[in-house]
Structure 1
């Protein structure tokens, strides 16, 4: 193989990693989440814009608020997960650009003065960060259960009342429990995906 990453790490992050549907009751600590974020922050984004925002749902009250917006098939596993994270795109990310992209401080106004442009850019670049977030959770030895089965408008109103954020995913996090993983589904092969021109 021509990969530098050792086979055990390849398995942990990719080949043996599955979406988890059950979790043990072992808590996920703030230190673990901070370690995950310290990896996630290096995701590639245009102009280093970093639009991902994360809400950690820890309290029983916040979890109940979230459960009301989850699809029926996702409620029980979200209720039982030791930690749930709401991952959203901040449509006002450009306010941070002078700090994050100091070589071109005028990027804030030069490229992102229009709301529609910011929303498209925030959604795309935060989605890149969501992928890194899932891999970061795996790197911490935890399992991730990312979901899109929820009412996005409801989640946005419930947790982002300012109207400046758009939820992209809800992710349950923890140590995998009994029967956490479904059998691996097929994936497309290299020749079905890659063309050379």
Structure 2
């Protein structure tokens, strides 16, 4: 697969895609969430570590457990969205490496260096969260990633007694395009990039 994808696909994923804060009254099925994961799981991670773990919060009772950790307008956004994904990382992701990366035993890189292990888990779960966003867009869903919440509270409520830690959250749904905010500007190539 070496050809450029269709212009319409590029628009849906990037140039015409928008962050949604308002949603159509339309649920997201479990099948769609499974399809989303089946797409996102193919994105690359360091030594195929795949440290991300996701909780798809759909029920009203589970949403209510999330509210105390949210800041400001994020409470209403989570209330109104059909699903909120908690993108977390497994601190002990390296335990899966014999299966995911059988070429050689990479576990000592992480078990012998806690900072490197943390950096790898956080960085690669962030990548996987981005893959989730683009997989959602590919399936026609809108997204709103956010970091305005108390990670420690989310971890206490959803991950107590586990090796999981929250990274960021992302609401998912079928966006209401009639309520989009004006699109924010982006930095120019020359402001961001250097070719050396």
Structure 2 unpaired stretches of 5+: none
2:49, 2:177 → 1: CA distance?
39
The match for 2:128 is 129
The match for 1:37 is 37
Note if 1:80 corresponds to 2:62.
Answer: no
Two-structure CA RMSD over aligned residues (Å): 1.3
Per-residue displacement from partner, 1:15-68 (whole Å, max 9, x unpaired)?
A: 111111011121101111111111111111111000010001122211100011
Note if 1:194 corresponds to 2:182.
Answer: no
Note if 1:151 corresponds to 2:129.
Answer: no
2:60, 2:183 → 1: CA distance?
33
Structure 1 unpaired stretches of 5+: none
- 1:144 is displaced (CA, Å) by 0.6
Question: How many positions carry a matched residue from both structures?
Answer: 193
- 1:115 is displaced (CA, Å) by 2.8
TM-score (norm 2): 0.94
- 1:116 is displaced (CA, Å) by 2.5
The match for 2:110 is 112
- 1:164 is displaced (CA, Å) by 1.9
Deviates more, 1:45-54 or 1:171-180: 171-180
Task: After TM superposition, list the pairs within 5 Å mapping 1:1-197 onto structure 2.
Answer: 4-104=4-104, 106-108=105-107, 110-113=108-111, 114-162=113-161, 164-177=163-176, 179-197=178-196
1:182, 1:92 → 2: CA distance?
40
1:64, 1:179 → 2: CA distance?
27
1:100, 1:12 → 2: CA distance?
31
Structure-2 change in CA distance of 1:180 and 1:44 (3 Å): farther
1:112, 1:25 → 2: CA distance?
45
- 1:143 is displaced (CA, Å) by 0.2
Q: Verify the 8 A CA contact 1:23 1:176 in the aligned structure 2.
A: yes
